[in-house]
Structure formats: C-alpha cells, structure tokens
Structure 1
C-alpha cells in the first residue's frame, strides 16, 4: 500500500452507479455531473469543471452540427475514431487539411473554445466500430472569447512512464491580447492551452505501480486547488486504483473522486491495484 501523504485532503469517491446514465441506442452515455435531462444537486460542478461525460457512440452515428458558446470543450479519445468538423473549417477543405486533422483516434484530444459562438459536429464515421471517449467542459475565466480549436496527439508510451500533461492555462492569462490568442502559448510546453486556471493530465499505470500527480501541475496561479480523478471503463472491470494510500479511496472502472482541500505543490499518489493497467485522467482546478 502507498503511504498517505495528504492528511489534510478530503477525498470523496464518486461512484459510477451515482452517475447519470442514458442509452439512446446510438449513444450510451454516463454523466459525472448534471447534464441534459439528468440533474443531481450534489453533482453540478467542481471548481471550473462543469461536465464529464463518458460516451460510446456507435458506427455511422454521432452528434450532428450544433452550437456552443463560452465553454471550453474537449474530447479525450479512448478507442475507436471520432470525426470533428466545425463552422470555422468546411468539409470541402479536407483535401488540403488532411483527414487526420478531423478524424481522431486513441490518444488524440480535440479542444474547442466556444467563445462568442461556434458550431461543430462530432460523428463516428467508421463502418463498424464504436468510439469511446470522454467529453469534458470547463468554465472559462471570462466570456466572449474568440472561438478557437486545437487537435493534438499524446503519446501512449509516455503515459506509461508517468502522468502526461494534456492541458494547461494560456500563458498570457485572462487579459490576453488578440496576438496572444493567436500565438496560443500554454504555460506547460506541448500542452493544449485552456482559458481557465485548470490543468489536465493522463497516465497509464501498470499493476502494482504508483504515479504521482503534482497538484497545480506547476502551472497554477491559485494556491487552493481541487482535483477530480476519473478511471474510465476500458478494461472490462479489471482495472482499479487507490488514491493517497487510502482504503476508502479505491476506485473501480467508471468511478471518480473529488480531492478537495489541497494546495498547489501537494503530491497525489495514484496506485494501480487491479490485475491490468489503469488509464487515469486527472482534472486539476482552482
């Protein structure tokens, strides 16, 4: 068992069975926070984190073009493929941009700043395979931002060595100029910039191994932090993790956990205790 380090932290599991769930045939979705027709006053948001949906979309179906405003919205692909198109780039531009830009696979992250308004679609255009991904929404530090998007791949082998940073705040901050927005420089190099005091990491932890997440990801402006840990349903129930060495903070697939009363620089230990490797996502917010 790992040694408990965060004696001051409050860790509360959010069980998979407590999530909202809808099966529409083409879409099988679980909601960690209130979303669409499912509302639970205990699960509305956590810091800037507003939505965490674990979605499976069947082949030749998906979310047709629909509008968004203001939220920072990103998809983390676990398996299958997902094709993204938006109102800023037309489908007939694909020949110059290349299919890979639009058609995401495992390890890819597609990020959209809704800002003043953007319309996009997320479709599974594969002939037979279901796509499995996390859809996550974060409240930005201000409204009315210019709509933008980013797509980036994050290496599988690196995730097996430790938590890989995926998102970090836009380095120019809340008062970023138009030039800063175009440069899109994140605080942590090689991550996707987000308009929030927010960081995301992902790791693939072998059985009996432990990864360490540094709260704030050395990228934060706020000392007081919250971390949400999620263990996606990828291994048929064989993956499991323990947080901070606590037996009352063991997560099974589909479970999450609220880690509260922590501060930037704290070390959160995530120990894989299942029979197979565990893919873990951490969402770190002010």
Structure 2
C-alpha cells in the first residue's frame, strides 16, 4: 500500500475577516492543478465563521455537500424548506441535484462556528435535490471508525449518490482501529484535530494521508484526535 502525506500548511488559505478558511483542494481564488480533488472527493474546506456572519443565499447543482460541525452553531436554510441549527457532532448532507439554493450563517451572535464543508461529485447528474441530517455523539466515535455516509445510506447514515464511504473517529492514547481497503479502492484521511498515526505516519491537525493499494489502514497513537476517512473508488 502506498501512502502520501500532505501537511496542513500546504493547503490553500483565505482570510476574509468574517471567514477564515483552509482549502484541501483548489477552491475559489486558490488554484493548484496538482490538488483538484481525490477521486470523487472535490472539496474539503475547514471554515471558521465569525459571530453573526455567514454565507448568504446562493445556488448549487449536481454536488453532494456534507457539513461536519466541530464547534459553535451553524444555521442552515434552503429552498427545499429545510431549516435547522447544527451543532458539534451534527452531520448534514444536501444533494443539490438539478439545483438548490441555501444559506449558512453562524447561529450565534457571540461565538464563532467551526465546521468542515465537503463536496463529493455525484455519479449521476440531474437528480432530485434532497436533504438529511443527524447527530453522532462522541461515544459512537470513541476508539472506532463510525460510518456516517455511504451510497446505500442506512439508519443514521447519510445517503450519498456516489461510491464513497465516510467514517469518523476519535482516538486517544491506547485506542486503535483498523479499516481494510479493498482492491481498486483508495482512501483519503483528513485529521480534523489532535495528533494521530496512520500506518506509522504521524499526522497533526489539518494534515492528510492519501493511500492506495490493497491493504489495511491502521489508526493509533492518538492524542485528542478526530479523524475523517474517505473510502473511494
């Protein structure tokens, strides 16, 4: 199994005052032809939005958009009639399909909101727009990789219109987990925070590991670690 490490500092960065964002892949004014995506995974933006600020109503189409909230309150409204305030541990999937409009604001007038916005290219275009959200408590991710998104969906699993699976885990010292990678698959590991070793490679917050080839992903030596793992075709 081959492994490539991309450090946090190599990501694109934008500071708009009200919004501070790190881009794992080319996005907006950040363009790097070597980092346009990884398989169907097109965007991982780590966003921090100031109190009372946010993204006004704007449109998307033909994209699976997943939000993973780390702290604070993310207020969502969309043209399908959905509206909610997402907090730490909440995950959301909006399939833009033929087209949808939405807004995302910091739901607090005092505290910033910190979240990841993830885009996955769907396997089909022109689908009906749809929406899903639920909460994943820390106990569900502690010392293990909890499936939170998959093409088949399921009980409290986001349904993706793509052959992609997303796991989330929390690891401290002594906690470890493994995830097999089937032939022809590849994995993108994004360390959200803390420290963690992936197949013997030490990662810090914001780092990523890109893995390909049949084998097993090993997660160990965690220190306040939160990780997302994408299993991709």
TM-score by length of 1: 0.78
Determine which structure has the larger helix proportion and give its number.
Answer: 1
In the aligned structure 2, how far is the partner of 1:32 from the partner of 1:280?
Answer: 15
What residue in structure 1 maps to residue 54 of structure 2? 62
In the aligned structure 1, how far is the partner of 2:31 from the partner of 2:213?
Answer: 25
5+ residue gaps, structure 1 = 1-8, 91-100, 172-185, 217-222, 234-238
In the aligned structure 1, how far is the partner of 2:156 from the partner of 2:92?
Answer: 14
What residue in structure 2 maps to residue 259 of structure 1? 211
How far is the alpha carbon of 1:277 from its aligned partner? Answer: 1.8
- Preserved contact between residue 231 and residue 278 of structure 1 (Cα < 8 Å): yes
How far is the alpha carbon of 1:212 from its aligned partner? Answer: 1.6
What residue in structure 2 maps to residue 118 of structure 1? 100
5+ residue gaps, structure 2 = none
Q: Does 1:153 align with 2:135?
A: yes
What residue in structure 2 maps to residue 243 of structure 1? 198
Pairing partner for 1:269 from 218, 222, 226: 218
What residue in structure 1 maps to residue 90 of structure 2? 108
In the aligned structure 2, how far is the partner of 1:213 from the partner of 1:280?
Answer: 13
Residues 68-110 of structure 1 show CA distances to partners (whole Å, capped at 9, x for unaligned) of 00010010001111011000117xxxxxxxxxx6000000011
In the aligned structure 1, how far is the partner of 2:221 from the partner of 2:56?
Answer: 38
How far is the alpha carbon of 1:144 from its aligned partner? Answer: 0.4
What residue in structure 2 maps to residue 135 of structure 1? 117
In the aligned structure 1, how far is the partner of 2:128 from the partner of 2:140?
Answer: 32
- Preserved contact between residue 92 and residue 158 of structure 2 (Cα < 8 Å): no
**Pair member with larger Rg:** 1
In the aligned structure 1, how far is the partner of 2:173 from the partner of 2:58?
Answer: 41
Residues 91-139 of structure 1 show CA distances to partners (whole Å, capped at 9, x for unaligned) of xxxxxxxxxx600000001110011000001100202111111100001
What residue in structure 2 maps to residue 44 of structure 1? 36
In the aligned structure 1, how far is the partner of 2:91 from the partner of 2:136?
Answer: 8
Residues matched between the structures, number: 233
Query: Hey, which bits of structure 1, 4+ residues long, moved more than 6 A?
Result: none
Residues 5-57 of structure 1 show CA distances to partners (whole Å, capped at 9, x for unaligned) of xxxx1110111111000111111000000001101111111111000111111
In the aligned structure 2, how far is the partner of 1:254 from the partner of 1:153?
Answer: 23
What do you get for the CA RMSD once the two structures are aligned? 1.4
Q: Matched residue of 1:67: which SS?
A: strand
How far is the alpha carbon of 1:189 from its aligned partner? Answer: 3.7
TM-score by length of 2: 0.96
Going from structure 1 to structure 2, the CA distance change for 1:261 and 1:214 (only over 3 Å counts) comes to closer
